[in-house]
Amino acid sequence: MATIELRCHIGVGPEVSGEALVTDDNFSARYDLDRIAGIFSRPQHKLAGQSYVDKIMVFNTAKGGVASAWMLHEMASRNIAPKAILFNSVNPILAQGAALADMAMCDRFVAGDVTQLIQTGDRVTVKPEEGLVTVERD
Amino acid sequence: MQLNKEEQSMLAGEYGEPRRWAMEHMLQVGRFFDAPDYVEVTQAHIMADTESLGEAGVVFLEDMAAAPLVDRLVRIPMITDPRGIDFCHYKRLKQTDLMASLEQRTIDAFEALGIVMTNTCINYQTIMPPVRGEHLAFGDTGVVIYCNSVLGAHSNFEGGPSSLAAGLTGRTPRYGLHLEQNRRATKRFNVEWQPQSLSDWGALGGIIGARTGSYWDVPVIDGIESQPGSDELKHFGAAMASYGSVPLFHLVGITPEAPTLDSVSDPKALVAELVTEADVDAFFDRYGGKGDKVDVVVFSAPQLSLLEMQSLANLLDDKKIHHDTSLLAVTSPAVAADARRAGFVERIESSGGLVLEGMCFYQSYAREMGEANGWKRLMTNSAKLTNIIGGYGYQPTLSNMENCVASAIAGEVV
């Protein structure tokens, strides 16, 4: 089993661990999700049809949608939410939303493209206060 | 982050719990984005439709509204983005009483906080247009990109919680577009094709937004030969922000910070990407559907200006919308009042259309409305709406206002 440590900018939210679901696509809670079913619903999204519940999500960046700031809080209140979201680069809305929802979120990874550094199925621990993400792979 | 004495007192709870929460929230966001301190803002605008708030968000606002008056009132003028409900028409749209009840609770909470219910995403056309250099905390990506780009004001995208925090404290963390160095162009586009209609402007904005693709990049655009007006740049910016999360653009010779290319960039450092007619054709082709039955034609996102309402009324005069097709025109309460006085509302509705005010189609439980009304094929002249509405189970068609109206009359995409 290999363990990789990835350094990133200091994030928001608590320390969490979970299974990664990775795409080089982008993210908006408003545009891309069926938030009741907990799946990606926009047909053009690369994760269309997949569940995001309790996953450590990894995206390239965030899109449009000021609403996402409320939506993360609403999703977390029903426990139909990701455990953490990691980006190469996030916009203010998602960071604001993570702060309200107390959801782990980090971006700006030192080693490069996080959508390549982490693979779907990896076991990931996110420590936003330290700016540290640990990846375990069989 | 450096906090002055008053900010430290707010953070310590000396100005009540709502302002303590606000400072704590903004401190987290400011730290995330390396803000050195706070900047004072003059206006706040909050996006808080109940579909995105949910029960949890409404309870959050109600808890804040229950604080003592002296602790809870916002400190600067603060207004609202569109709501999810038009109380006059929600039953006709097959929205539920539960949705209306959540909406009313939210309104009650906002009013208790001293927020003015303007219910609009075109406040820059109708309420209090910002001036160049003014620092703001605005919600709604279309509002922010317009105010930054066309008016030269300074705002980040402020989600509801951060807008509220800014309203309660009169400040926001100084990062992103509050800093001059982040307003310089980082990408350059040369447009070889000239937009004519509002949907053309939206398509162009969508293409440039998707290619820019990041909140932290600023496109400068050259090659536009005509003089756009406010509605053209409204659709252009709203689509750019929607497709790319882009909060600022410069149009050389048109927008105030870019009288020349040199004023916002080192032209030698930026290689121009071409935007061609083929790119625009390909964009429209993604949202085709010619010959399909059209279930609903929607003019929304952004809300219609008074002049768009007039154009729509002119196109619908002496026409009847097909009995299997719905036509919705969505605008702000301020524009609706003027449009009613000018006779536009009556003319649109006598053709079978429905004028909705204070809401926005996609912020109004679009999925549930679509399922309840059997709406699948949606036609619009808003590139922004085509980008969003696929996620709510619709098949979008993009065309200009004339074709949208002709399709509503024919009952199929013409």
User: Is B59 in contact with A70 (CB distance < 8 Å)?
Assistant: no
Q: Which residue spans within B144-192 are E strands per DSSP?
A: 171-173, 187-191
Confidence tier at A132 by pLDDT (50, 70, 90): very high
What CATH number should be reported for the domain whose range is A2-137? Answer: 3.50.30.10
User: What is the per-residue pLDDT for B334?
Assistant: 98
- CB–CB of B54 and A41 under 8 A? no
Tell which phi-psi region holds residue B141, choosing left (phi > 0), alpha (psi between -120 and 50) or beta: alpha
Mark out the alpha helices in B268-382 (DSSP H runs): 277-286, 306-316, 333-341, 344-350, 366-373
From B215's Cα to the closest Cα of chain A, the distance in A is: 6
The CA distance from B160 to A29, in Å, is: 14
The amino acid sitting at B336 is A
Q: Closest to B141 (Cβ–Cβ): which among A66, A90, A95? A: A66
Most B CBs within 10 Å: which of A36, A42, A66, as the mutation test of the B interface? A66
Question: Is the ipTM here above 0.90?
Answer: yes
CB of B162 within 8 Å of a chain A CB? The answer is: yes
Confidence tier at A64 by pLDDT (50, 70, 90): low
| Chain B residues within 8 A of A38 when measuring between CB atoms | none
May I ask the CATH class of domain B5-180? Answer: alpha beta
| Chain A residues within 8 A of B160 when measuring between CB atoms | 66-67, 69-70
DSSP bridge partners of B298: B328, B380
3-state secondary structure of B230: helix
The amino acid sitting at B396 is P
Which residue in chain A has the smallest CA separation from B241? A64
Confidence tier at A68 by pLDDT (50, 70, 90): confident
Q: Global pTM?
A: 0.95
CB of B244 within 8 Å of a chain A CB? The answer is: yes
The CA distance from A5 to A125, in Å, is: 10
**Phi, psi at residue B174, to the nearest 5°?**
-85, 95
3-state secondary structure of B91: coil
Which residue in chain A has the smallest CA separation from B49? A67
CB of B238 within 8 Å of a chain A CB? The answer is: no
CB of A103 within 8 Å of a chain B CB? The answer is: no
User: Is A28 in contact with A64 (CB distance < 8 Å)?
Assistant: yes
User: What is the per-residue pLDDT for A66?
Assistant: 83
| Number of neighbouring beta carbons within 10 Å of residue B273 | 15
DSSP annotation of B257: T
The predicted-structure confidence for A34-58, as pLDDT tens digits, reads as follows 999 999 998 889 999 999 999 999 9
From B311's Cα to the closest Cα of chain A, the distance in A is: 28
User: What is the per-residue pLDDT for B82?
Assistant: 96
User: What is the per-residue pLDDT for A102?
Assistant: 96
Token pair listed for B152? 């030269």
Residue B411: exposure state from Cβ atoms within 10 A (0-12, 13-18, ≥19): middle
The predicted-structure confidence for B317-372, as pLDDT tens digits, reads as follows 999 999 999 999 999 999 999 999 999 999 999 999 999 999 999 999 999 999 99
User: Is B65 in contact with B113 (CB distance < 8 Å)?
Assistant: yes
Does residue A63 carry a pLDDT above 80? no
Does residue A115 carry a pLDDT above 70? yes
User: What is the per-residue pLDDT for B231?
Assistant: 98
Which residue shows structure tokens 């605005």? B138
DSSP assignments along A16-82, one per residue: EEEEEEE-SS-B-HHHHEETTTTEE--TTSTTTT-B-TT-EEEEEEB-S-TTHHHHHHHHHHTT-S-
Please state whether beta strands B250-251 and B219-222 pair in parallel, antiparallel, or not at all (unpaired). Answer: parallel
Does residue A30 carry a pLDDT above 70? yes
User: Is B377 in contact with B413 (CB distance < 8 Å)?
Assistant: yes
Q: Where are the domains of chain B?
A: 5-180, 184-284, 287-410
**Phi, psi at residue B80, to the nearest 5°?**
-115, 150
User: What is the per-residue pLDDT for B126?
Assistant: 97
For B262, residues 6+ apart whose C-beta sits below 8 A from its C-beta are: none
- CB–CB of A69 and B33 under 8 A? no
| CA dihedral of residues B406, B408, B413, B414 (deg, nearest 10) | -10
Which residue in chain B has the smallest CA separation from A90? B215
Identify which of B261, B250, B191 has the alpha carbon closest to the alpha carbon of residue B226: B191
May I ask the CATH class of domain B287-410? Answer: alpha beta
Give the end-to-end CA distance of chain B in Å, rounded to a whole number.
57
CB of B364 within 8 Å of a chain A CB? The answer is: no
Q: Which residues of chain B have pLDDT under 70?
A: none
DSSP bridge partners of A33: A40
